[in-house]
Amino acid sequence: MPEKIPYDEKELLIHIADGDTSAMKILFEIYYPRLSYFGSTLIHDPQEAQDFAQEALVSFWQRREDFRYSSLQQAEAFLFTVVRNKCYNLIKHEKMKAGKGADMLSGPAFEEEAEARFIQEDVFNRVYREIQQLPAAQAQLLKMIFVEGLETDEIAQKLAITPNNVRNQKARALEKIRTLVLRKRLLILFLLVFNFF
C-alpha cells in the first residue's frame, strides 16, 4: 500500500477517469491485496482469487469514466462485488461439474457469507493500517504473528532472539496497537479480528 497518496479520493478517481495510469497504479496498490484476500476467503484458492482481483481492477479501468464523480467507497463496492460474483460463479460451476447441483450453496447463503467476509476483510485492513504506524520492528513482529501465522519459536529463530523476548515485544506492540485503536474507537473490531479475549 502506498505510504502517502498524492491525491484526495475524488482527485484520484478523476485522474483515473482521465486515463492516468500512475493514479490507477495507486488504486491497484490499495485494493489488489485486499481483493485477493477477500476472494481467497470465499474460494480458498489464492491463485484464483488473485486472478479475480486483477480482473476486477481491469474491469474498473475499462469502466473508469463511470466513476469520475464517485466516492472511493463506491469504487470499492464495485471492486468487491466483481470479486464476489466471480467467486460465486466459480463455486457454482465447480458444484455443477461435480454433479452436486442440489447441494450448491444457495444465493442468499453465499451472499451472507460474502458479506461477513467483506466485513472481516475491512476490519482487518483498518487494524493493519494501525499496525503500519508502529515502529518498524514492532510492525514486523505483529505481521509475522498475525499475517504470516508464525509461532513464537519460529519468530525467535528468524529474529535471533529468545522466545521470551518475542513474547515481551509482542505484549508491548499489542499495547501500542490497543492504544491507537482505542483512540479511533476500533476496539470492538480489534477484538473481533484478533480474538485476544
Structural domain range at position 160: 133-197
Same domain for 100 and 58: yes
For residue 120, is it within any domain? no
Which contacts qualify for 16-19: CB closer than 8 Å, 24 or more apart?
16/61, 16/64, 16/67, 17/64, 17/65, 17/67, 17/68, 19/64
Same domain for 142 and 99: no
Please check the confidence at residue 119 and state whether its pLDDT lies above 90.
Answer: no
Instruction: Give the model's pLDDT for residue 11.
Output: 92
* CATH number of the CATH domain containing 185: 1.10.10
For residue 123, is it within any domain? no
The residue among 80 and 8 whose pLDDT is bigger is 80
For residue 122, is it within any domain? no
Same domain for 161 and 91: no
For residue 74, is it within any domain? yes
For residue 143, is it within any domain? yes
Give the rounded distance of the alpha carbon of 55 from its chain centre.
Answer: 16
Same domain for 58 and 101: yes
Least confident window among 20-24, 75-79, 137-141: 137-141
Please check the confidence at residue 192 and state whether its pLDDT lies above 60.
Answer: no
Same domain for 78 and 15: yes
Positive or negative: CA dihedral 51, 82, 6, 25: positive
Same domain for 18 and 102: yes
